Amino acid sequence: MKFSDFYQTPILREGARPGDLVRTRPVFASQLAGAAGAWQVIYVTTGSRGQLLPASAIVLIPEATAAPGKTAILMYCPPFRGLAGVCAPSQMLATGTEPDTYAIEAALDRGWVVAIPDGQGLGVGTGPHTFLAARDGARAVLDLARAVYRGANLDLPVAPVVAWGYADGGRVTAAAGELQPWYAPEVDLRGIAAGAVVSDLVAVAAAISEGAGSGLGLPALIGLSRAYDQLPLRHVLSEAGVQAVAEAQYLTGVELRERFPQPLTHWTKGADPWNDHWWRRVLALETLGHTKPPMPLHLYHGELDLVVPVRAGRRTLIAYRQRGTLVSWREYEADHRSTAHLAVSDVLARLGEDLTSRPATSPTPTQPASEHSEHASRP
């Protein structure tokens, strides 16, 4: 099967369930010295209206599995890479173009399996990526955990799950903790780490619409309108904005910042597009901290972060504490990018402690892979 053919949108079989594997294939992740093998996978997840959708991911196998009681399946959600399909982690790791592998390598070195969802709209699918739609991303995370449990041909141990993400990826993992009890109760999710997380998008709207994060305003509009396809996107855009969206949905994060650095209002009809009543409703739906995740939550943030202001992260901490969540907090004297690097060892240590935080639940029994899977030996 050719590289591009693998990511062709499949027709889901009748009776498909969230978490079912559609197809798999082994690949080589040249950037990761600690990976004994890697699998690209296509699996089933659900959209914002409950519809079944295909999603893609990559599953990385460590050189040496951790000792019993210390092994884990890490669901890792990197920060925003862009809106286009070429930004999919499962493709970037297979082509050797992933910009930051430090955290992934560190997890593999602990003997953990690392599973990285592409997120809706990246990899398989029609795009663009549903940037900032945390619950869409959370369902993709939980369904990937199901797929790993059910992937008999992946040759993986059944182990507790931990989740880790940064920035937009952190919002996704935090939302996964909230959704797990009712959406995927069979997934044994023991702990979550989330960095640079904003619980209320209204609190960060100004930061992503102008100033240091202004290049994220237009992708935010595009990503949320993709997740909530009833949103009247053209309703808030100027004529120049309509043309910008047509181009932006096919760009990487670097290309977006270079091509569209202007404040969001440069592309909209009004001075505050987020204040449109349709968009206010979506921002409310995307607020985190409404429910209490049953597993420990570790939040961290950079004091010098200009992309996601630290005050927004502190509000996230307060929101979860008010719900009675077992939540910890750490601040680093660093900016947005540096904090992601500095926190790696602390995060992995914290998640390692979480593996013994509560009794294991009974995961979904291992099931044969879909009849559409490519049966191949472990790479």
Six token digits for residue 59: 């599953």
pLDDT digits (tens, 9 = 90+) for 326-354: 999 999 999 999 999 999 999 999 999 99
What pLDDT, in 10s, does the model give residues 210-253? Answer: 655 567 888 988 999 888 877 778 888 899 999 999 999 889 88
Strands 52-62, 35-46: pairing kind: antiparallel
The predicted-structure confidence for 133-188, as pLDDT tens digits, reads as follows 999 999 999 999 999 988 767 777 778 999 999 999 999 999 999 999 999 999 99
User: Residue 367 above 50 pLDDT?
Assistant: no
**Amino acid 377: pLDDT:** 31
Residues with Cβ within 8 Å of 270's Cβ and at least 6 positions away in sequence, in order, are 236, 276
| CA dist., res. 18 & res. 162, Å (int) | 19
- 287: tokens are 């607020």
Q: Is the peptide bond before 128 cis (omega within 30 degrees of 0)?
A: yes
DSSP conformation class of 266: G
Q: DSSP code of 360?
A: P
Angle between helices 134-150 and 168-183 in degrees, nearest 10: 60
* Buried/exposed 132-141: b ≥16 CB within 10 Å, e otherwise: bbbbbbbbbb
Structural domains of the chain, with CATH: 14-200+295-354 (3.40.50.1820), 202-284 (1.10.260)
Helix, strand or coil, per DSSP, at residue 233: helix
DSSP reduced 3-state for 288: coil
Task: Write out the two tokens for 309.
Answer: 């202001």
pTM: 0.90
Query: Exposed, middle or buried: residue 102 (CB in 10 Å: 0-12, 13-18, 19+)?
Result: exposed
